[in-house]
Amino acid sequence: MDHFNNYYLKFMEYISNEDRWISYGVTILKILLVLILAKIIVKISDAAVDRIFIKREGDRFQKLRLDARRSETMRALVKNISKYVIYFIVFFNIFTFLGYDPKPILASAGVIGLAVGFGAQNLVRDVITGFFIIFEDQFAVGDTVMINNVTGTVQEIGLRITKIKAWTGEIHIIPNGSITQVTNLSVENSVAIVDVSISYNEDIDKVVKLLQEKGSQWKESIEEIVETPKVLGVERFGQSDIVIRITAECKPTENAKVTRQLRSEIVQLFEEKGIKIPYSTMVMMNPIEQAQKLKQQS
């Protein structure tokens, strides 16, 4: 009973100590103020980074200007780094408010980092690979790329991961260390390839000449085409058709769109000129009726 009374008295003394609760309240208030201030600083930092990377017309420092792809990538990266630095400083300030000295933590950071390095080799590899991806400008935010058999638009590049949005809407998160081969579809012009089938009864030279004449008009009417489409000639012979190949150099990643437009234009052109496009047909024969016809003929 005496032990219970002693614990009760200590507990009551603890919760009734005004100075202690004032100290706790001041500490919590400091932590809240620091977190709010960090949030404000992060927003100010993001706004400053956005302002720095804005591409302005008539900028005097032309040599410092970056293209839109690289600018967007570097802007996202600088924002992430500045956010990590700000919250890192806040973390150590909170330790100070709680009565702990962060200096021993800083002093042991090297040993801890070495120990973590052995256990987190994949993380280190991801960070190093991410650094070289950004430094070498292998691809940037907004580029259409194919990475590890995943094709899509780059949404975000970080030091550890890369986010790619597929054309069907999925977001693929790929660790940078696992990226072994990158195909960037946004750097150079693409080529649209259209194979056109015509009947064996058609005049090949006439069709080729007609497509060549129409090519210059497609160059003017389809803004994604950068050079006049080329009619390469007969590509192959099918069972019931002759295939003529047309190629058109167009803007990066626009080849699929141009291919669909050219096919539509060619169908309309052939309808206007009376050029037949072969298609397979199926004839259903009634064996009884066929036998009767043969009997009547004989």
Residues whose CB falls within 8 Å of the CB of residue 117, separated by 6 or more in sequence, listed in order: 124
First to last CA, the chain: 126
The more confidently predicted of residues 62 and 237 is: 237
pLDDT per position as a tens digit, 103-152: 666 555 555 555 555 556 777 788 788 878 877 778 888 888 999 888 99
Q: Which domains does the chain have, with CATH numbers?
A: 2-107 (1.10.287), 124-184 (2.30.30.60), 190-273 (3.30.70.100)
Q: Cβ of 70: how many Cβ atoms within 10 Å?
A: 14
Whole-model pTM: value is 0.55
Compute the distance between CA of residue 291 and CA of residue 288 in angstroms, rounded to an integer.
Answer: 5
pLDDT per position as a tens digit, 245-292: 999 999 888 888 999 999 999 999 888 888 887 776 666 666 666 666
Instruction: Kindly list the distances between the CA atom of residue 272 and the CA atoms of 245, 266, 269, in Å, as whole numbers in the listed order.
Output: 20, 10, 5
Compute the distance between CA of residue 248 and CA of residue 266 in angstroms, rounded to an integer.
Answer: 13
The single-letter code of the amino acid at 75 is R
pLDDT attached to residue 56: 45
Residues whose CB falls within 8 Å of the CB of residue 32, separated by 6 or more in sequence, listed in order: none
3-state secondary structure of 189: coil
**Nearest Cα to 74, choosing from 54, 97, 103?**
54
- Residue 298: pLDDT above 70? no
pLDDT attached to residue 9: 59
